[in-house]
């Protein structure tokens, strides 16, 4: 009884003094929004200081990290208050008070609902702003229903009991968020993860299933009172809980499907993995006149750019007019005429899938400029590949970087085949825009997942050259670095590399070999998941893309540029490039973002929501090129752990080629630049010593030497020819 007395006194204090203002519902909403922002910013600040791995996250990962912290705090707050009103307070008692339960409310109950409305509004804004990265359409529907129901109940005072019953379902949110944090920390197979999973299931069963059954039973018992509500109130009581109940029952399955997509995107699992499908027909309507567009694309000068003596261009090429799909390109002509012969045209593609060739290739690897630490100014890359060729960077597919589609469903149709077709249509149109490059020797280069893009585009070009009985594009060769070539050997080689470089124990590697089957379409065992998840933890403190390289611990830009070095790659370069390419004056100078995208430019796409096809191997395409006289070079930075040198060697070994020139060192400036082996059929494999996944970033001078020799069709210098 004493506890009840204190409870009543506290309620009277809040009701008669603190919450007596009639504007409380509205100030509560503003307070909820303010609390959202406060917790979000504090989480970001705390995580930046106390979690080293946080600084290595992509921007959208940091956003989700902080967003989940806010949703956890809100869930704890609203769960406690909902449990209090439903099971402890006398406000909705059938015995304590006279009058209809459906109309009962208090200043405190209204204030609490106002805070919750403020949270849902702020969270809904985040979901829309970053759509679909923080949640798909089911999240939009969930939040719209929640906002409508809670706001109506708050403003009218009707049905607050049922509103609080529904809000108890937020009980599951902290556990779901903890699961995400543990997964992000590589603790998916830990005891804590297992216990948390059990807690989530129990909470979900009680709060999202059994409690909803009780709610509908309570509505049945008080049906006479429900009928006296306004029609909107009746919808609140009947329809909203019913829709949310259905969503609750399907939520688990939707979460699993979303997880499968991200896993498929990285592991080529759960998507079409058969042979690459030849693009037999390209609609001639996709080839458009390009008269006058070249000069419109000319970039006079990039903001913060040093003086240069070459021309540069940037702009869009439409690849599907009916869908409004267009790809962005950045083109730099060669520095100077190095000889009487015109230099070739070289296309560069980055991988992902979904990562930008403008972000990595142009601004961090082989382009003519690098971005200073102030995110405003540029400095020269003296080892730019436009010393050796006219270099074209393409952001592909649509949804990557500045490339876009006016048909949003296009982003659900992304895959290797769509990417190859659009890239081919782009090239044919681009050559119409730049007719002086028609007939010029053409080479395709790229890294990582471009191990798919490059051969698939090359195959499409060859096929349509034959189909048209003429040389539409004068393809001479391809060169791919640290490339995804063959699913099975790529993954097997990665774990062997970890073991050979003392990153994991021999015992762990033996477990991987015993329990993991990386062959196409093989299922992954629980034991394989357990050991690989355990291994993954080491890369929260190491950069898998450069195992001996430094990590970025400071995401902030500097007021003045730090002393820059082309030789010593800055691991925080992603942040500088992100800031630079999101500057309005930069986008205007580059003729980019002309449609005013509803999201920031990102180095890797947050827009592409599906990847439909990804063949498990591209080896047959490499063999096709060799039989057609197309030069094939494969290179590998030897400190990359993601697609390491062992993976590439294993993949090439599957081709069972005869060796033309045995394994030996190649040299640059009297030092070993790496090692190489040449095979019959014009395939060259070369390593680049001291380079990570992005070879030109870590070893720009050696990378330039590599591309010079590739384009020239000459072998890398051996012990008798140092340069």
| Catalytic annotation, residues | 448, 640, 693
CB of 624 closer than 8 Å to CB of 461: no
Tokens of 161: 């009991």
CB 367 within 8 A of CB 332: yes
CA 143 to CA 454: how far, in whole Å?
Answer: 42
Among the listed residues 393, 394, 389, 395, the one whose alpha carbon sits nearest the alpha carbon of residue 333:
389
Please calculate the CA angle 486-492-494 and round it to the nearest 5 degrees: 95
Beta bridge partners of 688: 637
Distance CA 312, CA 335 (A): 10
Please list, in sequence order, all residues whose beta carbon lies within 8 angstroms of the beta carbon of residue 295, skipping any fewer than 6 positions away: none
Residue 683: closest CA among 656, 702, 719: 656
Bridge partners of 394, per DSSP, are 329
CA distance 393 to 446: 10
- Compute φ and ψ for 419, nearest 5 degrees: -65, -45
Distance of alpha carbon 312 from alpha carbon 331, whole angstroms: 6
What is the per-residue DSSP string for 160-220?
Answer: HHHHHHHHGGGGGHHHHHHHHHHHHTT-TTSHHHHHHHHHHHHHHHIIIIIHHHHHHHHHH
Angle, CA 392 vertex, CA 330 and CA 428 arms, to 5°: 105
**Phi-psi region at 690: left, alpha or beta (left = phi > 0; alpha = psi -120 to 50):** left
Question: Which DSSP state fits 272?
Answer: B
Q: Write the CA distances from 179 to 58, 65, 188, 484, integer angstroms.
A: 19, 12, 8, 30
Closest C-alpha among 682, 662, 670 to residue 721: 670
Q: Which two tokens stand for residue 481?
A: 């670095």
Instruction: For residues 384 and 335, give the distance between their C-alpha atoms in angstroms, rounded to a whole number.
Output: 9
Please name the residue ranges forming H helices in 434-518.
450-468, 487-500, 506-515
What is the C-alpha separation between 20 and 22, in angstroms, rounded? 6
Could you give the residue ranges of the DSSP H alpha helices within 24-106?
24-50, 59-83
Residues 6+ apart with CB under 8 A from 618: 276, 451, 452, 455, 456, 485, 486
Q: How many CA atoms lie within 13 A of 639 on its CB side?
A: 17
């Amino acid at each position: 009884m004493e506890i009840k007395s204190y409870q009543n006194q506290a309620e009277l204090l809040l009701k008669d003094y603190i919450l007596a203002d009639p504007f409380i519902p509205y100030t509560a909403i503003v307070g909820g929004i303010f609390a959202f922002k406060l917790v979000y910013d504090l989480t970001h600040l705390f995580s930046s200081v106390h979690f080293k791995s946080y600084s290595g996250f992509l921007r959208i990962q940091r956003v989700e990290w902080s967003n989940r912290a806010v949703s956890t705090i809100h869930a704890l707050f609203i769960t406690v208050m909902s449990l209090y009103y439903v099971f402890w307070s006398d406000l909705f008692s059938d015995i304590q008070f006279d009058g209809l339960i459906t109309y009962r409310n208090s200043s405190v109950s209204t204030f609490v609902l106002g805070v919750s409305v403020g949270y849902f509004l702020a969270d809904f804004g985040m979901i829309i702003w970053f759509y679909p990265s923080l949640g798909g359409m089911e999240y939009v529907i969930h939040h719209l229903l929640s906002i409508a129901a809670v706001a109506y109940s708050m403003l009218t005072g009707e049905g607050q009991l049922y509103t609080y019953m529904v809000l108890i379902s937020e009980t599951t949110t902290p556990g779901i968020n903890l699961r995400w944090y543990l997964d992000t920390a590589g603790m998916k197979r830990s005891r804590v993860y297992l216990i948390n999973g059990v807690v989530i299931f129990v909470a979900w069963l009680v709060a999202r299933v059994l409690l909803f059954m009780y709610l509908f039973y309570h509505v049945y018992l008080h049906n006479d009172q429900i009928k006296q509500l306004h029609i909107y109130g009746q919808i609140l009581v009947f329809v909203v809980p019913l829709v949310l109940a259905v969503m609750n029952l399907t939520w688990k399955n939707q979460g699993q499907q979303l997880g499968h997509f991200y896993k498929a995107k990285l592991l080529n699992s759960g998507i079409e993995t058969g042979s690459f499908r030849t693009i037999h027909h390209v609609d001639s309507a996709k080839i458009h006149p390009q008269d006058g567009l070249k000069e419109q694309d000319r970039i006079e000068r990039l903001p913060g750019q040093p003086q240069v003596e070459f021309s540069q261009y940037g702009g869009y090429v439409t690849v599907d007019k009916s869908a409004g799909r267009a790809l962005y390109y950045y083109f730099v002509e060669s520095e100077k005429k190095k000889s009487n012969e015109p230099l070739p045209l070289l296309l560069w593609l980055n991988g992902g899938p979904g990562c930008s060739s403008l972000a990595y290739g142009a601004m961090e690897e082989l382009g003519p400029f690098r971005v200073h630490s102030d995110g405003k100014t540029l400095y020269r890359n003296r080892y730019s590949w436009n010393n050796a060729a006219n270099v074209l960077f393409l952001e592909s597919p649509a949804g990557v970087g500045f490339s876009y589609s006016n048909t949003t469903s296009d982003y659900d149709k992304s895959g290797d085949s769509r990417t190859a077709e659009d890239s081919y249509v782009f090239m044919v149109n681009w050559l119409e825009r730049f007719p002086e490059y028609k007939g010029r020797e053409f080479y395709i280069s790229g890294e990582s997942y471009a191990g798919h893009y490059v051969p698939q585009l090359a195959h499409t070009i060859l096929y349509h050259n034959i189909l048209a009985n003429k040389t539409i594009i004068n393809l001479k060769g391809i060169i791919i670095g640290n490339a995804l070539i063959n699913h099975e050997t790529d993954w097997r080689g990665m774990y062997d590399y970890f073991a050979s470089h003392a990153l994991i124990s021999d015992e762990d590697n033996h477990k991987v070999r015993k329990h993991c089957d990386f062959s196409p379409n093989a299922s992954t065992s629980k034991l394989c998941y357990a050991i690989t998840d355990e291994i993954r933890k080491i890369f929260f403190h190491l950069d898998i893309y450069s195992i001996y390289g430094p990590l970025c611990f400071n995401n902030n830009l500097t007021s003045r540029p730090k002393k820059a070095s082309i030789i010593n790659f800055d691991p925080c370069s992603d942040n500088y490039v992100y800031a630079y390419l999101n500057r309005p004056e930069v986008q205007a100078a580059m003729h980019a973002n002309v449609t005013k995208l509803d999201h920031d430019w990102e180095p890797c796409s947050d827009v592409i929501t599906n990847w439909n096809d990804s063949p498990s191997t591209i080896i047959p395409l490499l063999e096709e090129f060799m039989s057609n006289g197309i030069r094939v070079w494969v290179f590998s930075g030897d400190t990359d752990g993601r697609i390491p040198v062992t993976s590439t060697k294993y993949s090439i070994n599957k081709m069972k080629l005869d060796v033309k020139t045995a394994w030996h060192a190649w040299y640059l400036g009297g030092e070993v630049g790496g090692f190489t082996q040449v095979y019959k059929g014009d395939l060259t494999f070369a390593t680049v010593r001291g380079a990570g996944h992005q070879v030109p970033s870590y070893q720009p001078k050696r990378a330039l030497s590599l591309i010079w020799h590739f384009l020239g069709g000459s072998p890398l210098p051996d012990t008798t020819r140092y340069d």
